[in-house]
Structure 1
């Protein structure tokens, strides 16, 4: 099959060389302000303008579970709600955060329409992977290597959001994350900027649909701009230490992909860049985002991130923080009314200009107009839809499909999987029948008990006759007699399915971990069960790559189940029993130890690389662990082995303005059909700046019948070889390149070609 780059650009599947990211071509991502917007702007008072730039937590419709720290916890909830209605009627609020519900949403919108100019509210919410129908966490969906699947889940999430009155979602999270200690790894698409870019664009297309004005579309807000995935030590809210080249080449591409897909808002990050916090960083939010990237939408702060310029130590007080954030380019303040308190006085003192104020308000009103709110303030506030279009059968079926396609099989020695019919199975572990920990982080609207557990999924597939369920221990605490009961169940079984991993509150925001191993009680349980000698299938629940140890690392079969959401238990049972063959691949590298972090496949070689097979000192290595991943980025197997032939190139030279074909023949050596993620990697042998040892440039997911062979061909051109040079501009340089077509970032034998200079 020939994969033509131009066709793939149209299809949005394989975008060659991150051409949308590192070139930073100027583009208009939003239409110019309309006459209606300009007319409104001309009639607004300063107070009303600042109101449009104020985003408060929704006190009238608070979330079932808290998302962010309470801004005004000392006031009674009823008092806060009444005050908010008054503020809305006075035109002092532009948007509300984290509220759902049509009945009260309509009342809030009625209050907004009673303001002097009747500008409607925009309702926002953090819906990263589903509202009531919970899809796999974004990291899990990235494991599918199917951006189109992510687009479908985002479209379904938008259907539910708009059914309960949401116009704007603070998603996708597009930070490239290379340190698995960071809790927010769960929210993104992993360690590779190319894969993250494809998924960023897919989510935006799904959320926003074909027509943003549709009652079923929401505005996307890619976050966190920028570099948040590089926080030092993987510690939440920490600083970063990034060169501008690394910022441009690794962390910016997913944002530009999202903007090119149509995103009209973005969220500033908590971290600093080169010593300047993102929410007060004019170089980041104006020079790069607007002047270089050409972004025309509006920037919203993260929760209280503008206020935190004081704690960062760059602002003297709140007033100074408001001035710095607004001057830098933060248009809308999320949190406790910083702009409301200080922008009017700053304007009066000429510390900010009226032109900048009008510019920010114009951007917000233009997004509201693009959403159709100025024409239909009650869009997405239909009681009938709210009653009928949440957790629909179609959405749940998609959740099950997405979950099954996100599962990654790491190991399957002796073909333990799929489970054989009629065998006695002991499901052991704290996550085997725990509905409260199926959804993962960022699911505050999910109802506990709605999610299908692995135990429920296996019962549905196998019945109860051949299945024993024992908890064994808690997620992070032992249970009296738990290990003894687990060992007894294992001895009576033919196969053990060991359901272990993280609880959902161990991943996500503010959930950084210094050790990314299993909690000690679970490891102790695993060791005791392994001592019985029974075959073990480990099913991992997690929101990051884990450093596997002992009996878990050495189990005969290991399945990464992530946090799979509403239908996770059915999906896992589908894969374990062979109803569906596993087809996911790792979007993050599983390290050998926690101490290897940050670890990612596309690192630089250094001047003293440890080459494969070497065990010498005076190399870039640790003395106590191999300088490789336990399971590398891109790894995953299925229920039949796939053989890769040698890479065949259409020539030894790639002309400067032409293409080169790279092909490989795959053969399914097994008796079952498989889906294989065929991955193209390239390495620049000698460049003007150091380059990664490998970079993912393209991939294709192909289906192979039992015993079948198939040729896969990729087209390479100069765009695949471009990088940010010493002058911080995009360039390709003539020279020799290695290319792999392989099942992972650590597999395969390379071929070589030369990029010829422009003649």
Structure 2
């Protein structure tokens, strides 16, 4: 113990008071009715809390200046030692001003934007009483069947690491977590993005070598950025559920990553150790979790109901509880709660922080940068505001653009796509065409076709509802609903240019959409200003620059599919090869519909030849690589050059390519710009079979381009001697 204030406080605490600090509850235990419930609640829970409610350490899922002030004041009046409550919530992509879902934000390839979004989200949430956010989600994800892909930043370890760092720095600020910032919680530690079959809460089974190579880096980046909390994941890893896994939490997180902050369980994940089959009862579950290093029990009530008995029976040592309490109290001190339990709430004017013009402008910028142009045959887009347009699709007249985990976002404050496009185009008509539910209405379809027949262009809005992605929203079918596809086919029979707008929280099988659309704009769930952002891109006021960070498959049968895969002993090197005994499908190409890093622009960028100042790299040296991007079009545009490296021969198998660097910058119309990457030995290092990271001498390929597709890349070979 190092802090005299906390040491003295800890010495005054009874065992009940200490155990109370380790328990997190929802706001309804304090009379609130506005808390978010994201898991089961034991019917017997309240009996455990009844006599200890004024010893509780933290509350999740509620916010609001008046409510939190009232709860905190009442709590402190009844608390013997006046240890303030800590309020936490899922601030994932905004509080009231809602930004694009994280998978959409990732498509911006703009870490500064993500940092600004996290800062704005923190400012709003802190103004209404939140001190901790359960974000960022640093899970690497490769399976679009998993609903929580929307909360991730994609399939690449390097990019996820950059984004995890940006989120943490935005939430927490520079030097200390002041009253306008939040403590960040990196989650879900660890490996949660690899659940089998894309099914929520499911098993994760991978080698430790693969875990360290691909999944650990983004968590590590968040910890190194000084995230104050880590949340355990629901899944097993190396055969043991993480919440009771001492090797994961103690050896890797505490010792290797030097994390000294608070470890919090996910909702009831301590209690679920029983369902996993590693604990016979709640007492054993509590013992496993505490010994593994879990400081805060979120909603299993195992600590508050079992720890005293475990101490009395000498099954656990009081030091474990003391260390956990010390970390929790240290976090409260860092947040300034002992000096001001309200963190400035009493004097704050909420309106000057929440839903401001500045934050709305940032939401629009974020939405514009996150939207991805997937197809644009014959330069269908942008449209002229004088063009006659048929807007078709029930989603086009829906306020459901915020997506899952939008917390206090108000759908009714969100413009519909219809409203935004009607403000742009002089000649535009609308037809629902289908119901959002999947049943097909011939009458609605016929009405839509009749209206579209009279217009020059058709804008077809398709996709998912927000409830179809997020936690507990796994899917086996990742196509859009059949009624939407049937209507699109009927519209295509008119022979008019069709622009499809996709609203989604996950990659989809867009094979049919691709076939019947002249242009495709991927909007994700774009947030509060998403509709206005789409309208500006459709009319050409904004040049799209987004690039996907998860691969889009041709068929769900290809999943999980990702760009940085390993080669096989029988790789398919020629797409047109007739040989049977190769690693391929009988009914589909191997390659995806849209590769990682893909996204078009209205600017017609051309990439030059990659050049290097040397084809050899040695100890304590580097190679300087450069490439020229030309913009022969009449439109300024943001170009993103992605740099990949392949290790041609190594001790263990290596990916066919790995992202090592990227740069996004404006290239003006009719001009060129040089993009530069300096390679050093750290870019060649990888995790060996001994779990250590270092480079091997040998040959490498450096590639640069606008996506991970081989067709987009300019390459050069070099050697490490």
The question of whether the paired residues in 2 share the 8 Å contact of 1:63 and 1:100 is answered with no
Give the superposition deviation at 1:168.
0.4
Deviations 1:576-633 (A, max 9, x none): 1111100110111111111100000000011111114342321111111111011100
Q: Does 1:198 align with 2:162?
A: yes
Per-residue displacement from partner, 1:225-260 (whole Å, max 9, x unpaired)?
Answer: 000000011111000111101111211111111111
2:35 is the alignment partner of 1:68: no
Corresponding residue of 1:555: 517
Q: Within 1, Cα distance between the matches of 2:207 and 2:515?
A: 36
Partner Cα separation in structure 2 for residue 131 and residue 714 of structure 1:
37
State the alpha-carbon separation in 2 of the partners of residues 213 and 287 from structure 1: 28
Matched residues in 2 for 1:286 and 1:63: separation? 37
What does 1:245-256 correspond to in 2, within 5 Å? 245-256=209-220
Determine if the alignment matches structure 1 residue 652 to structure 2 residue 615.
yes
Instruction: Find 2:119's aligned residue among 155, 162, 170.
Output: 155
1:273 aligns with 2:237: yes
What is the rounded CA distance, in whole Å, between the counterparts of 1:657 and 1:550 in structure 2? 52
Report the Cα offset of residue 385 of structure 1.
2.4
Q: Which residue of 1 aligns with 2:274?
A: 310
Counterpart in 1 of 2:625? 662
- Give 1:537's match in structure 2, choosing from 493, 499, 505: 499
Q: 2:93 aligns with which of 123, 129, 136?
A: 129
Moved more, 475-484 or 111-120: 475-484
Residue in 1 that maps onto 2:338: 374
- CA-CA distance at 1:552 after TM superposition: 4.3
**Once the two structures are superposed, what CA deviation does each residue of 1:656-704 show, in whole Å capped at 9, x if it has no partner?**
2111011111111212111111000000000000000010000000211
Q: Is the 8 A contact 2:57 2:86 kept in 1?
A: yes
Residue 376 of structure 1, CA deviation? 1.1
Q: Please state if 1:572 is matched with 2:572.
A: no
Query: TM-score under structure 2 normalisation?
Result: 0.97
Gaps of 5+ in 1: 1-31
Residues 210 and 536 (structure 1 numbering): CA distance in 2 closer, same or farther, change over 3 Å? same
* Contact kept? 1:103, 1:383, Cα under 8 Å: no
Cα distance in 2, alignment partners of residues 584 and 233 from structure 1? 28
Q: Alignment RMSD, CA only? A: 1.7
Structure 1 residue 58: Cα displacement: 1.2
Equivalent pair of 2:643/2:660 in contact (CA under 8 Å): yes
Residue aligning to 2:197: 233
* Aligned 8 A contact 1:85 1:108 in 2: no
1:689 to 629, 632, 652: 652
| From 426, 431, 442, the counterpart of 1:470 | 431
Aligned in 2, Cα 1:104/1:66: closer, same or farther, shift over 3 Å? closer
Give 2:716's match in structure 1, choosing from 748, 751, 759.
Answer: 751
Are the equivalent residues in 1 in contact too, given 2:509–2:556 (CA < 8 A)? yes
Q: Which residue of 2 aligns with 1:29?
A: none
Look up the match of 2:449.
487
Mapping of residues 571-720 of structure 1, within 5 Å: 571-615=533-577, 616-720=579-683
Whether the 8 Å contact between 2:48 and 2:305 is mirrored in structure 1 is no
Distance 2:297 2:235 in 1: 16
The superposition leaves residues 407-450 of structure 1 with CA deviations (integer Å, 9 ceiling, x where unpaired) of 01011001110012311111111211100x20000013222211
Q: Is the 8 A contact 2:88 2:134 kept in 1?
A: yes
Summarize the Cα distance change of 1:270–1:83 in structure 2 as closer, same or farther, 3 Å threshold: closer
Q: Sort the Cα spacing of 1:612 and 1:64 in 2 relative to 1 into closer, same or farther, 3 A.
A: farther
Say how many residue pairs are matched: 715
1:61·1:99 contact (CA, 8 Å) conserved in 2?
Answer: no
Say whether residues 1:48 and 2:2 are aligned partners.
no
Alignment correspondent of 1:722: 685
Alpha-carbon deviation of 1:397? 0.9
Structure 1 pair 474–65 and aligned structure 2 pair: CA distance change class (3 A): farther
Query: Which structure has the higher relative contact order (CA within 8 Å, separation 6+)?
Result: 1
Describe the SS at the equivalent of 2:315: coil
Q: Is the 8 A contact 1:183 1:544 kept in 2?
A: yes
Structure 2: distance between partners of 1:755 and 1:290: 34
Asked if 2 retains the 8 angstrom alpha-carbon contact of 1:67 and 1:444, the reply is no
Question: Is the CA contact (8 Å cut-off) linking 1:664 and 1:711 kept in structure 2?
Answer: yes
Structure 1 position 364 matched with structure 2 position 328: yes
Output one character per residue of 1:525-558: Cα deviation in whole Å (capped at 9) or x when no partner: 1111111111011111111111113244441111
In structure 2, relative to structure 1, the CA distance for the partners of 1:73 and 1:319 (3 Å cut) is: closer
Say if 1:66 and 1:470 are closer, same or farther in 2 by CA, change over 3 A. farther
Contact preservation (8 Å) 1:33, 1:362? no
- Residues 1:34 and 2:16 are matched in the alignment: no
Task: Tell me if structure 1 keeps the 8 A contact 2:552–2:595.
Answer: yes
Counterparts in 2 of 1:532 and 1:388: CA distance versus 1, 3 Å: same
CA contact (8 A) 1:85 1:111 kept: no
Q: Decide whether aligned partners of structure 1 residues 669 and 590 sit closer, same or farther in structure 2, where only a CA change above 3 A counts.
A: same
Partners of 1:633 and 1:336 in 2: CA distance: 39
SS at match of 1:750: strand
1:271-327 deviations in whole A, cap 9, x for unaligned? 000210011111101111011111110110000011000011111011111111111
Q: Structure 1 130/736 Cα, relative in aligned 2: closer, same or farther at 3 Å?
A: same
SS of 1:222's equivalent in the other structure is strand
Question: 1:121–1:85: structure 2 CA closer, same or farther, 3 Å change rule?
Answer: farther
**Cα 1:474/1:381, change in 2 over 3 Å:** same
2: CA distance, partners of 1:612 / 1:430? 43
CA distance in 2, matches of 1:574, 1:387: 28
Q: How far has the Cα of 1:384 moved from its partner?
A: 4.1
CA distance in structure 2 between the aligned counterparts of 1:83 and 1:690, rounded to whole angstroms: 52
Instruction: Flag structure 2 segments of 5+ consecutive residues without an equivalent.
Output: none
TM-fit CA distance, 1:380: 4.4
The CA distance in 2 between the partners of 1:174 and 1:223, in whole Å, is 6
2 CA distance for matches of 1:365 and 1:688? Answer: 46
Which segments of structure 1 move beyond 6 Å, counting only runs of 4 or more? 82-86
Equivalent runs, 1:55-204 vs 2, <5 Å = 55-59=24-28, 60=30, 62=32, 64=34, 66-71=36-41, 87-89=52-54, 91=55, 93-114=56-77, 115-204=79-168
Q: Is the 8 A contact 1:530 1:551 kept in 2?
A: no
Change (3 A) 1:72 1:306: closer
2: CA distance, partners of 1:523 / 1:365: 55
1:428 paired to 2:392? yes
Work out the CA distance in 2 between the residues paired with 1:484 and 1:105.
53
Quick check: 2:96–2:408 contact (8 Å CA) kept in 1?
A: yes
Alpha-carbon distance between aligned partners in 2 of 1:672 and 1:388, rounded to the nearest angstrom: 37
8 Å Cα contact 2:511-2:593 kept in structure 1: no
CA pair 361-381 structure 1, distance change in 2 beyond 3 A:
same
SS at match of 1:221: strand
Task: Tell me by how many angstroms 1:737 deviates.
Answer: 0.2
Conservation of the 8 A alpha-carbon contact between 2:26 and 2:35: no
**Which of the numbers 390, 399, 409 marks the counterpart of 2:363?**
399
1:336 deviates by: 3.8
Q: Deviations over 1:103-133 (max 9, x none)?
A: 2211221233231111000000001001111
Number of the residue aligned with 1:215 = 179
Q: Is the 8 A contact 1:523 1:552 kept in 2?
A: no
1:134, 1:439 within 8 Å by CA — same for their partners in 2? Answer: yes
Contact between 1:299 and 1:330, CA under 8 Å: does it hold in 2?
yes
Paired residues of 1:172 and 1:222 also in contact (CA < 8 A) = yes
Q: Which region of structure 1 is more displaced relative to structure 2, 696-705 or 57-66?
A: 57-66
Q: Distance in 2 between matches of 1:305 and 1:287?
A: 20
> Is the Cα–Cα contact under 8 Å of residues 487 and 528 in structure 1 kept in the other structure?
yes
3-state SS, counterpart of residue 171 of structure 2: helix
TM-score by length of 1: 0.92
